[in-house]
């Protein structure tokens, strides 16, 4: 059975990105499209290349042997795929950093591992440093995430059992997914609810059991100008907030600094390598631990105690 399109595109991107030299089309077929007939492979490969190029990925066609041009291959030059140097304000840098973390999900990590393993087993010389360009960083622990993400990519309807807050039992829902978005420290599915005949937002942690794909891919179109984050912000229930007290290293934690309600400079910190400042910020309790941990050793959470305990527990788990 052919791999889902999203997985196929990711595998093709990884394969062409880590190549030190162009790889022949037939070799690509052997490794990534092994079950396809020659005519089906040609169509899928051309579509996949066009889709990558439409996303701004520079798929290059070049001779496999630099001294002969009778056989060509394909690769993605890392230097052409990488972004040029961009100057951002501290606040913009924080937003970009948070956005870049969305791709560290078990599905993507497994796909990357599988693709690299196939290439290595086939004896192909790979450049793993090239993967730093698209290295993923943020986890999604909800079991429903993977199928919902695939459904969004494939534009395929889904059904699942959903238990609303305060409800005693779950209800079956039928949805055409428009997007999956993280808001207020939680993952939400945004889409058209066929049972209600209107747009709805579903918190993935409240999905009960398995999410099932229904019907065929490409069965619907997402309404033009749909902003799934704006819909989630408008329709998702408000999240509780708390005043966080942080120790922040000098020159770091700019996002926290920009929104701080109080800053005390030059306080004692956990080490003496640099100076430290004490900040008070109002943040949603959901996702606060993730935000603190993303700054590594440059930010230490003092309060709230419960979230500090969560941060410590997660660090101990990693260390162990």
pLDDT digit string, tens, across residues 192-244: 999 999 999 999 989 999 999 999 999 999 988 888 888 888 887 776 788 99
Q: Please state which CATH number belongs to domain 145-235.
A: 2.30.30.520
| DSSP at 66 | T
CATH says 5-92+107-119 is which class?
mainly alpha
Nearest C-alpha neighbor of 189 from the set 211, 220, 214, 221 = 211
Q: How many of the other CB atoms lie within 10 Å of CB of 268?
A: 9
For residue 38, the model assigns a pLDDT of: 85
Averaged pLDDT of the chain = 79
How far apart CA 122 and CA 116 sit, in angstroms, is 10
Whether 138 shows a pLDDT value over 50: the answer reads no
How far apart CA 96 and CA 89 sit, in angstroms, is 11
pTM over 0.75: no
For residue 101, the model assigns a pLDDT of: 42
Q: How confident is the model at residue 281 (pLDDT cuts 50, 70, 90)?
A: very high
Q: Which of helix, strand or coil describes residue 128?
A: helix
Task: Considering only residues 31 and 256, tell me which one the structure prediction assigns the higher pLDDT.
Answer: 256
Place of tokens 């999240």: 239
Burial class (CB within 10 angstroms; exposed 0-12, middle 13-18, buried 19+) of 74: buried
Cα–Cα distances in Å, from 11 out to 16, 54, 100, 136, 229?
9, 17, 19, 14, 28
- Poorest-pLDDT segment among 111-115, 166-170, 236-240, 314-318: 111-115
Give exposure, 152-173, as e/b (b: 16+ Cβ within 10 Å): bbbbbbbbbbbeeeeeeeeeeb
How do the domains of the chain map onto residue ranges?
5-92+107-119, 145-235, 241-319
Whether 162 shows a pLDDT value over 80: the answer reads yes
CB 3 within 8 A of CB 111: no
For residue 114, the model assigns a pLDDT of: 53
């Amino acid at each position: 059975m052919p791999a889902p399109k999203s997985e196929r595109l990711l595998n093709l991107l990884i394969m062409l990105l880590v190549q030190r030299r162009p790889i022949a089309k037939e070799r690509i077929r052997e490794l990534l499209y092994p079950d396809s007939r020659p005519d089906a492979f040609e169509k899928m490969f051309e579509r996949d290349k066009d889709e990558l190029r439409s996303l701004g990925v520079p798929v290059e066609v070049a001779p496999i042997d630099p001294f002969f041009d009778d056989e060509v291959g394909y690769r993605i030059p890392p230097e052409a795929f990488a972004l040029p140097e961009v100057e951002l304000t501290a606040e913009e840098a924080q937003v970009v950093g948070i956005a870049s973390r969305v791709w560290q999900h078990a599905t993507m990590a497994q796909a990357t591992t599988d693709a690299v393993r196939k290439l290595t087993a086939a004896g192909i010389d790979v450049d793993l440093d090239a993967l730093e360009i698209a290295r993923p960083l943020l986890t999604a622990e909800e079991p429903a995430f993977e199928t919902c993400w695939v459904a969004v990519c494939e534009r395929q309807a889904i059904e699942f059992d959903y238990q609303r807050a305060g409800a005693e039992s779950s209800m079956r829902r039928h949805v055409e997914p428009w997007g999956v978005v993280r808001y207020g420290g939680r993952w939400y599915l945004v889409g058209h609810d066929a049972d209600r005949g209107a747009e709805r937002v579903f918190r993935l942690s409240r999905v009960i059991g398995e999410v099932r794909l229904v019907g065929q891919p490409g069965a619907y179109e997402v309404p033009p100008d749909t902003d799934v984050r704006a819909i989630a912000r408008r329709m998702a229930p408000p999240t509780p907030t708390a005043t966080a007290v942080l120790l922040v290293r000098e020159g770091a934690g700019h996002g926290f600094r920009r929104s701080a309600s109080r800053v005390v400079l030059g306080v004692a910190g956990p080490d003496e390598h640099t100076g430290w400042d004490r900040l008070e910020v109002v943040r949603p309790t959901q996702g606060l631990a993730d935000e603190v941990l993303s700054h590594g050793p440059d930010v230490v959470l003092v309060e709230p105690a419960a979230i500090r305990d969560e941060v410590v527990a997660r660090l101990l788990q990693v260390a162990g």
